[in-house]
Structures are given as structure tokens and as C-alpha cells.
Amino acid sequence: MRKLMLPFYYFRDRNTGIWDEVSISITGPVKIIDPHLVSTFFDGYKRVYLHTTTELENKSSSVVECDLNIQVTSELEGGVCIVEHLQTQHLSIPSGKRVQHTFPQLFFYKPNLWWPNGMGKQALYHVTITVDVKGHGESDSWSHMYGFRKIESYIDSATGGRLFKVNGQPIFIRGGNWILSDGLLRLSKKRYKTDIKFHADMNFNMIRCWGGGLAERPEFYHYCDIYGLLVWQEFWITGDVDGRGVPVSNPNGPLDHDLFMLCARDTVKLLRNHPSLALWVGGNEQVPPPDINNALKDELKLHPHFESLHNTGKTVQELSASVKDPSNYLDGTRIYIQGSMWDGFANGKGDFTDGPYEIQYPESFFKDDFYNYGFNPEVGSVGVPVSATIKATMPPEGWKIPLFKKLPDGYVEEVPNPIWEYHKYIPYSKPGKVHNQILLYGTPTDLNDFCLKAQLVNYIQYRALLEGWTSRMWSKYTGVLIWKTQNPWTGLRGQFYDHLLDQTAGFYGCRSAAEPVHVQLNLATYFIEVVNTLSEQLSDVAIEASVWDLEGTCPYYVVHEKLSVPSKKTVPILEMKYPKSKNPKPVYFLLLKLYKMSDYGVISRNFYWLHLPGGDYKLLEPYRKKRVPLKIRSTTFIKGSTYEMEMHVENKSKKPDSKSLTYKNNFVTRIGDGDFDMASVEPVNSAAEEKQEASLFQRIYRRFSGETDDLQVSEINGSDEGVAFFLYFSVHASKPGHKEGEDTRILPVHYSDNYFSLVPGEVMPIKISFEVPPGVTPRIRLNGWNYHSGHKVY
């Protein structure tokens, strides 16, 4: 199996012995065991019932009298909590016995619902269960964050793909495959938080926990709940138990089927109360052995209330006297799919119809024949990180870039060094199919040059992948999961951030393409499209399309006003005709903005660099010598070791046309921005700037108690005019004793955007947040295609 060859998969003893945390807890006579929370919805999600069942074990030598309590609280703004329900039941539990108890259902009217990332807020309630034993006091307690939501899925008749609905709303799946947080199982709450927030930052809404990994710690799923990432949870059936691989594996594996099912049941009980958990899947690219598969099907069968897409309108008690309360089931609320390519995934029959796993022409993703099935569980591509990561993780012999070997048919084969081969490097060319995408920019001179050009390709590759899928939302596709989002080791393939937690440019290509509302260019038809994944129609919006050449002029400008875009639709609006105009430039930039006509608020901004058909980007090489003046206003707020920074980056070169709307546009808050809740920017006059800075100060002051703040203005001088191209920030440590060549990056860092470009006169707000190690002073640097020396801006 192709993915088996990664060295990670040969780590020994990855699923035997004690590998996770071991803890000892002390309770009184009665212990609470594996509570199960289930919500049922009626009357259009207005009436909701919470069902709760738990096991109780009396470890004492006598009958105990006890009070079993359940409390549900919600948190209001300002940290104030309100008790929604408090219920007490009196029980007698015989000596040495384990009993199961189901609470009377709790009724909620119009509760706050939990939504996936990009669809709404992730409302969570705090459920606490305690047991008080007579003569002893509190014996045990259990608590969990719980979200009210209903997940449904079925095979869509229009596409043949599996379609997911959350709270009755269809959700177009755009996510990735998750391998493991760390190959050596150095699992931590802090890294989990970063990992999951990175996925939310990319505007993803699903993570597939691939079957070659494991069920992660509860903290992983907690942060999926917090950030709105649906989880496809796979059981541990993959290439090492299907008769494939080198050496050949056991086709009837795992060896101990009873132990496997014991672990499976425990895993279900561990994870079932998380609202982010969307479905169970038996195996990766295969079905578990028949006895295991049948057992999983039986034990994960749906409760009758969840079998149909439409509720019966009856309460659970009214369904049937023989139907158990849904919280009595092992799960009963989520579907079980026997394998990752069955029942609405890939071709639905288990054939190897996922992939491909290599570089593509960007326009290929938009074409009718690229992928023929409704939901692709794995499609992969390149993933070279920045050069600093390679230098930090490999000896100098690993810094050698691939050799470009020209073949007789005109294609170029990349020959990587042995260290890159070991780290499973995926080339940026596919001889016979795809010409080298790095060489479009010219032959790289060294590692820094190669990795920078690779970031250009990464950005285009993954933005085009997601935009191609979204272009056919509901008409051809229901979802896509990229192989893969991250690496559990220092790999060189398919990743959006490396093992050191530095993002590639592909990260921001995905963030752009997966916006809930997005304006994009169909690279096959050259029609400008608007994607609306929200449940509300977009009204009174406009599109501004401007082309910028390498001389800094704007030869093409068009505004299309008074648009309406239906909910859950991708709509082609107009053709971008510049390539067909008289004397088009061989290389040019395209800026698309979707904005509100009422206040010019930008809803979506998308920037492309393009060449004419059959051309290349080699004219960008001399463009690196351009020096476009920039002005950067930075505001810094510090709370302990946490830094929050607002950067307003302005391209100060001359505006070619004062009538264009680009300079009136303001950036508005987007759904799902989370910590990147940007204030509007109005670069009109100094008074407006001062007003904006004051409001920003007040907003962050309230959040951080205003311990420290710092307003600073940096100027990057230049006499040229044009686009400031492919700019990116990085954060570095400044402290005595640094050795030359030492990796000074502070990681991880969360950016509201990066690898961005600015046309003349345009201002971009960038928010940066990070933690600083003790004794370290952070320094912010700006690099880019024509800012390669690393200007210090803070």
C-alpha cells in the first residue's frame, strides 16, 4: 500500500504496552462509570431533550443509599454561568454490584446549538454528575462539555457522494486526513490546541482520524468541540492487516479479535459525548475481518430516532414501549461505515478510487474528468516546508536541492538527495503528465530559492484543489479530505504545517479557498464565481476585478454590482476577459474582491498571479529586484508571555486610478475567524486611523487587562511602483548567545493571513498571536518575493 512506506508506520510497538498516560483516582464507595449523553430534537430544533445514562458501581461491602445529581450549566458573556437544570435521584445500590441508571429526560427550549466551523458558534454546555453517599458525602463526580446538535448523513442522489447535515443544514465538507500528533507519542494538550486551531484557521470543517493512527487523547476531541472540527473516527484497520505491504501482513489481523473489540467499545465510550464526533469508520481502504465488522455494525446500530432523516414528531417514550432510551445504546446516534471507500465515499464499492497523490496542473481540479465520484476521502500533493525547517531538522547534506533531469520527451524528472528520499519527498513534477511547477519560475539557485518557489506552488496547488471542488459544490461533489494536513515526523510530503509547527504557503491557500463565502476564478473557464456555503442568501453585494501588470499599472478593471447569491450555492458571475484582450501581458496579477455595496465592506478577497496559456512565470524573476515602499503600523498587547499584534501593511506606491473602489474597501469580520476577529480598517485619513486605533486598543485592553501596549510605525523605503508580492511575516527570538545559523523562529504563531500581496494603495490588516519563552524578546520580520532580506518591522 502506497502510504505504508512512510518510516513512521514502522515505529515499533506503537499500539502495544503502556503508551499513554496512566493515572490513579480515588473515589468513595460508589464510582460513576462512562455516562452517556444524547440529545433528541423536535419541532424544528426548538424542543430538545437531554437523555443521560450512567453506570454506578458499589465497591463497598454493604448496601449504600445515595443521591445521584445531574447539573447542566451554560456560560454567559463575562464568565457568568447559569444553571439550566439540576436534578436529583435517590438510589439504593447492593453491595459489590454495578447498576445502570437512566435519568428522566431534561427538557430545553431553544438551546444554543453547536455548529461546525464556518456555520455558526460552537455553543457548549457543562454537564456535571455527582453521587453523594449517605454517611460519606460526595463519592465521585464526572463532568463533560456537551453540545446540542444533530448530525445526519446519507448518499446524495445527485452526486453519489455522502452528504452531511448538521442541525438540518447541509455542510460541504472541506478537511483533511490526520495521522497522529507525534510519531513518538509525545502527546500534549498544548500541541493539540495548536493543531486543531490550525485546522480551524484553514477554514476546514472535518478531520479524518486515519486508521493507521490511533484514537487520540480526549484533549484532541475537546479542541475539535471548541473549534468546530467534525471528526471522522476510524478504527485501527489499515495496511498492516490486509495481506499487503512489505513484509506481507496478516489479512485476518488483528491477531486478537476479542481484544480489538474490547478496545473499540472503550474508545466509543471515551469519545461518544463529543459533539464534534461525526461518524465511525471500520477501516482505511478496506473492511475489518467479518466477525469484527459484524460486531461493530451490531453494537453501533442507530437508535430508531436517528435512523431517518426526518423525526417522527413523537417523544422517545412514544416511539415504542420496546425501544430503549437512546442513552442506553453504546452510541446509537452516529452512522457506522465499514470502510473509507464504501457507502458514499470514493466510488462507494471499496475499489481504489481515492487519490491522486501528486502534483497537478492547477486548472485540472476544475475539469469534468479530474475526479468522478462525489466525496474523495484522500487526495494528496506536495508539501515542502520553508528552508529554515529543513536546515533545523537535517544535516548539511540534506540541504542539497533536487537535480532537474530533462528527459527526451521534454518533461523534467526531479532527483532528490537520499535524505529527502527517506523523508518521502513528493516532486513538483510528474514526467509524462505534469511539467515541473517550480521551474515555471526559473531554475532554483539554492535551498532558500527552491523553498520559496515551492511555497508559491504550494499556495496555488491547494487553493486550486479546494476551489475546484467548491466550484462543483452539490452538482458533482459533496466533500473532499486532503491527504494530509500534517506530519507526525519531519516528512516532506502533503502537509500544511511542518512538524515544528511552521505553516507552509499551502496553509493560506486553503484558508482562502475554504472561506464560508468566497470569490474565485475558475481556472478552466475563466469565469469569476461566488461561493456561498451559508444558510442565508447574499444580497446587495458586488465584485471588483482588477488586473495589475509588472509595471504597476491597472490595464483591466471591472465592477459587477447589485448581485444576489443564493444560500448553499456556487454561482458563475462573469467571465474574466483580460487574457482575450488586445496585447495582454504574459504575466499579470488578478485581484478579486467581493464586498457589500452599503459600506464597501470586503467579504472575500482573492489574489492570483497568472500567465497566458502556454507561458510561465519567469518574468517574475527580475521582479524580485523591485522595491515597493511599504508602511507598517503595528500595535502590540502583552499579557504575561502572550503577545497579540495588529499589523496594518500598506503599499505606498502611487495609485494609478483614484476612481477604483479598492481604496474604499474595508475588511469585515468573517464567520469562524475565532481569535482573528479583525476590526474594520478604513485607510482614508489620519483621523479615521486614530479612531480605529483607539477602538482597537479599548477592545484588546478589556481582554488582556492592558498590561502593556506598544504602537510602532515602520517604513520600508522604495522608489518603485507596483504590487508588493508574496509577503510573509515570521517571529524570531532575540537573545544573547545566539549561534550563527541557529534557528531563531518562535513557533507556533497564529496569523490571520500570510503569504499575501498588496496592490498599490491597498492596506491589509494582519493579526499575529504567539507565546514567548522566558527571557526572550520577540522580533517580527517581513520577507517576500521582492523583500527577501528580512526587514525587521518590530
Res 187 pLDDT > 80: yes
**Model confidence band, residue 787 (pLDDT cutoffs 50, 70, 90):** confident
- What sign does the CA torsion over 356, 361, 363, 367 have? negative
In the three-class reduction of DSSP (H, G, I as helix; E, B as strand; rest coil), residue 202 is classed as coil
Q: Which residues, in sequence order, are CB contacts of 22 under 8 Å at separation 6+?
A: none
For range 218-241, the mean pLDDT: 93
Beta strands in 290-426 (DSSP E): 336-337, 375-380, 403-406, 412-415
Which residue(s) pair with 345 in the sheet? none
Of 75-79, 154-158, 318-322, where does the model show the most confidence? 154-158
- Look at 61-75, 309-323, 347-361, 406-420 and tell me which has the smallest mean pLDDT: 309-323
State residue 398's pLDDT score.
97
Beta strands across the sheet bearing 173-178: 336-337, 277-281, 230-234, 206-209, 173-178, 479-483, 375-380
Higher pLDDT, 65 or 699: 65
Tens digits of per-residue pLDDT, 409-440? 999 999 999 999 999 999 999 999 999 999 99
DSSP letter (8 states) at residue 342: B
- What sign does the CA torsion over 252, 258, 263, 265 have? positive
Q: Tell me, yes or no, if 285 is annotated catalytic.
A: yes
The three cell numbers of residue 500 are 515544528
Tens digits of per-residue pLDDT, 571-615? 999 999 999 999 999 999 999 999 999 999 999 999 999 999 999
Q: SS3 letters for 381-403?
A: CCCCCCHHHHHHHCCHHHHCCCE
Mean pLDDT of the chain, nearest integer:
89
Q: Which of 216, 378, 467, 721 is catalytic?
A: 378
Q: Are 622 and 441 in contact (CB under 8 A)?
A: no
The three cell numbers of residue 583 are 496585447
State residue 229's pLDDT score.
98
Res 214 pLDDT > 90: no
The crossing angle, in degrees rounded to 10, of helices 189-201 and 218-227 is 30
DSSP symbols for 279-296 = EEE--SSS---HHHHHHH
DSSP letter (8 states) at residue 536: S
Res 308 pLDDT > 50: yes
State residue 76's pLDDT score.
82
HSE of 506 in the Cβ direction (CA atoms, 13 Å)? Answer: 30
Cα gap 124→389, rounded to integer Å: 38
Tell me what percent of the residues of the chain surpass a pLDDT of 70: 89
The three cell numbers of residue 620 are 517574475
Res 407 pLDDT > 60: yes
State residue 709's pLDDT score.
57
Higher pLDDT, 170 or 677: 170
Cα gap 427→407, rounded to integer Å: 15
Other beta carbons within 10 angstroms of residue 414's beta carbon come to: 21
Q: Which of 75, 77, 234, 285 is catalytic?
A: 285
State residue 659's pLDDT score.
61
Other beta carbons within 10 angstroms of residue 450's beta carbon come to: 21
Identify the CA nearest to 73 among candidates 101, 29, 106: 106
Tens digits of per-residue pLDDT, 568-578? 999 999 999 99
For range 665-680, the mean pLDDT: 49
How far is CA 102 from each of CA 97, 328, 577, rounded to the nearest angstrom? 16, 8, 65
Q: Tell me, yes or no, if 378 is annotated catalytic.
A: yes
One-letter amino acid at 145 equals M
Give yes or no for a cis peptide into 408 (omega within 30° of 0).
no
Cα gap 338→235, rounded to integer Å: 10
Q: Which helix (H) or strand (E) holds 137?
A: strand 137-146
In the three-class reduction of DSSP (H, G, I as helix; E, B as strand; rest coil), residue 749 is classed as strand
Cα gap 486→492, rounded to integer Å: 10
For range 284-303, the mean pLDDT: 95
Q: Are 555 and 585 in contact (CB under 8 A)?
A: yes
State residue 681's pLDDT score.
29
DSSP symbols for 112-128 = PBB--TTTS-B--EEEE
Q: SS3 letters for 470-513?
A: HHCECCCECEEEEECCCCCCCCCCCCCECCCCCECHHHHHHHHH
- Look at 367-381, 511-525, 649-663 and tell me which has the smallest mean pLDDT: 649-663
The three cell numbers of residue 143 are 463532568
Identify the CA nearest to 536 among candidates 520, 562, 514, 517: 517
Other beta carbons within 10 angstroms of residue 241's beta carbon come to: 23
Cα gap 455→458, rounded to integer Å: 5
Res 679 pLDDT > 60: no
Where does residue 202 rank: exposed (0-12), middle (13-18), buried (19+ CB within 10 A)?
A: buried
Cα gap 603→518, rounded to integer Å: 8
Residue carrying C-alpha cell 506536495? 382
How far is CA 350 from each of CA 174, 249, 347, 379, rounded to the nearest angstrom? 21, 19, 7, 16
For range 758-764, the mean pLDDT: 94
**Model confidence band, residue 262 (pLDDT cutoffs 50, 70, 90):** very high
Tens digits of per-residue pLDDT, 680-716? 323 223 333 333 333 444 443 344 444 455 678 888 8
Backbone angles phi, psi at 315, to 5 degrees: -75, 165
